[in-house]
Amino acid sequence: MTDEVINQPPPLTGGNAWRGDPLLIQLAERFSDPVRKDLDGLGRFVMTQEAQELARLANTDTPKLRTHDRQGRRLDLVEYHPAYHALMRRSVAGGLHSSVWENGDAEIGRRHQARAARFYLTAELETGHLCPITMTSASLAALMASPKL
């Protein structure tokens, strides 16, 4: 290291983004215990060094368009860093893409609020992967309203 950096705060890791947000905790008081438990786990994940490194990598190594393969055949393929896919998998596993449309008792009557709380916590970590997650959730409404599709 050539220079010691002393005017920057240390990385904010090791806490819990959910427990550190009094407004979010207050809004979640009406959620069921399983939903609050999920928020607690997500809040811990968001503050881990691992999660923050995934976010850094996903944003540093931006998507690349590959129009052709090495033989000159048309591909039109967008390549993403594996960290981007890891964040997508985590968000899908957490139901951000479809939880408001799923049948389940844990979020009954509060599906949109529960998804919003999870979305808010995830956005504190990285927002780029949330665009396709949101489009998936929104498109489900259109598909469900149009049985012919």
What is the spatial distance between Cα 29 and Cα 24, in angstroms, rounded to a whole number? Answer: 9
Tokens of 128: 């780029």
Tokens of 81: 């860093």
Give the least confident one: 47-51, 54-58, 106-110. Answer: 106-110
Total-model pTM: 0.86
Mind listing the pLDDT tens digit for each residue in 93-131?
999 999 888 877 777 789 999 999 999 999 999 999 999
Coil, helix or strand for 76?
strand
Contact 13, 47 (CB under 8 A): yes
Q: Which residues, other chains included, contact 135 with Cβ-Cβ below 8 Å and sequence gap of 6+?
A: none
| Cβ contacts of 34-43, under 8 Å, gap ≥ 24 | 34/106, 35/106, 35/107, 35/110, 35/114, 35/117, 38/94, 38/118, 39/117, 39/118, 39/121, 40/16, 42/17, 42/18, 42/94, 42/118, 42/121, 42/122, 43/16, 43/17, 43/18, 43/19, 43/121
Please give the distance of CA 126 from its chain centroid, rounded to a whole number: 7
Could you tell me the sign of the dihedral formed by the alpha carbons of 93, 95, 96, 97, in that order?
positive
Mind listing the pLDDT tens digit for each residue in 62-84?
999 999 999 999 999 999 999 99
Other CB atoms within 10 Å distance of the CB of residue 105: 8
